[in-house]
Structure 1
């Protein structure tokens, strides 16, 4: 998929472009799971096989590397991305394959590598409530660890000639890098508009989600139309996922990250962008002055959060997120009814309703 996704017209998905006109409404003839444990059920055996495969893929004879690998594995996490690969494969083909397992492992290796590097770039001392790798072993070792994980993923695909999946994931990494750099460039000037925002999150976040769903499909089918549909499903789901993260910054204390962290880092997210657009010029200048400060007090952060709420930023972002979630589900309509398809619908709902 190109940088300017077919789902994003000039960077901003519009209501008119929400779903293909040829799609029928999604009907689910079986219960839609509402918890993450229930969502995992159709691929529980596959997930267990993945955990073993992933551990083996990360193994190293180097003492220090293996020690850090064990620390990474101990942290676990939700493993949403390999779950997406497995569910997508099962929804498209009825069963997973060895290629599916390798795709899931590659996704998680690349994702973990980007998190390790992100912590170095952000000088973050914690990840998922525990010390980050750079906090424990310093930046140089953390960067090298990220490189090691990236190389393991690339070799995993090359050793088995999984070129299509490798191309998909490599393109996602390229887009993630470009999205991150564009966000840094624009954040310095505090001039991100809604169009630019969607371009950033399409590359920075949605690219890897779409790579998951596309790779799952590629591992079980050669139907180009079906592969493209799963690519579009993941792209749209990724946009909704990022908006949910952005909403956490303003009104949720249990979001898994400190309230106001995006504002602290001068990140212009959708709720803030919309509120600034709707505000009077004097109010815009006052809030931008706060956002541009290198150090912000708790009172400053609460002032920005109140401003965003009162000027409709929260409501607008929530509406866009819910609209994108509905669009994402529409791409699943032509798939045959199955527990895996129902789980993908449930995972879409879980994405926009999660508390962290």
Structure 2
């Protein structure tokens, strides 16, 4: 028992040390020719973050022995740079004022600079991934294609005759789950895992990526202790799983909620009323059930991976995402 505990402590320390190395490498990758551009490019990175994608790379690389330390760091930097670059573009499109508790780059330097900084980080990610080989470049390019198509679909909205919920779930799959799946795959691929294990990591990443975003949707409605004010998405009229499920209701008792969802919720009293109605609505139960269903699929996929501290850590991570409140 003690030996097992010691191995786990060593494992966790190794992963933390690798993520620290990734953090330093991220800042180096964002260095530019002028201090202003460097500051702008490091702005979101320096604000911190969950580093969920680099963690998946690190854990995936530990499922089987043989991963190169430097290649793991490079792959983790690639996926996080890609994620951060997309945030610069998202903030411009959403006219965001705050990002990770700090003034957004578009607010500080303007939309043009924010877009170009995002482009710079995408370019740096492409440069680094080329060092890992052509197969990694191909995967990254296809992932980037999904990210862009997801953003376009979100921007234009559902097409005539398309179910809004189906549209939303596809947007989440492309904008969020795609890069998370690539993160899980990169780790396993660097370790030289067999094709079946790599495929399982892709499938796991897709499911846990969906859980990651859809649980955020629920937190926006339920949490009183979170990094953002409850109802932030609701106030901005951003579609989420609970609101889309609620909109499917034909119950006359839901008329007031549907009216509120179509109204200006920048009024605090109207927002509070909408939150109260949603918290008591069956749609919230349905949304929670969907998150738990996908999490169960993810756990089932993990059960097919080699036993060991990496799989245990992935199982714990899966549980944390489902049960988190912020």
Superposed, which structure 2 residues align to 1:41-56 within 5 Å?
Answer: 41-56=13-28
- Separation in structure 2 between the aligned mates of residue 52 and residue 301 of structure 1, nearest angstrom: 41
Confirm or deny: 8 A CA contact 2:92 2:115 kept in the other structure. yes
Match of 2:297 among 327, 350, 355: 327
- Separation in structure 2 between the aligned mates of residue 75 and residue 173 of structure 1, nearest angstrom: 23
Residue segments in structure 2 that go unaligned for 5+ positions in a row: none
Structure having the larger proportion of residues in helix: 2
Deviation at 1:169, TM superposition (A): 2.5
Q: CA RMSD in A?
A: 2.9
Deviation at 1:265, TM superposition (A): 2.7
Please name the residue that 1:180 is paired with: 151
- Separation in structure 2 between the aligned mates of residue 193 and residue 210 of structure 1, nearest angstrom: 24
Please name the residue that 2:239 is paired with: 268
TM-score (norm 2): 0.89
Please name the residue that 1:250 is paired with: 221
2:312 is the counterpart of 1:342: yes
Deviation at 1:243, TM superposition (A): 1.1
Match of 1:131 among 82, 89, 103: 103
Superposed, which structure 2 residues align to 1:154-169 within 5 Å?
Answer: 154-158=126-130, 160=131, 162-169=133-140
Q: 1:94 to 1:346 in 2, by over 3 A?
A: farther
Match of 1:76 among 18, 40, 48: 48
Q: 1:197 to 1:66 in 2, by over 3 A?
A: closer
Deviation at 1:320, TM superposition (A): 1.5
Deviation at 1:308, TM superposition (A): 2.4
SS at match of 1:232: helix
Structure of greater relative contact order (alpha carbons < 8 Å, 6+ residues apart)? 1
Match of 2:209 among 233, 238, 255: 238
Confirm or deny: 8 A CA contact 2:236 2:265 kept in the other structure. no
Deviation at 1:291, TM superposition (A): 2.7
**1:129-180 superposed Cα distances (whole Å, 9 cap, x missing partner):** 111111111111111111111111111122x252222222222222222223
- Separation in structure 2 between the aligned mates of residue 40 and residue 183 of structure 1, nearest angstrom: 38
**1:78-109 superposed Cα distances (whole Å, 9 cap, x missing partner):** 21111111111112446444322211110111
Greater displacement, 335-344 / 297-306: 297-306
TM-score (norm 1): 0.82
Deviation at 1:295, TM superposition (A): 5.4
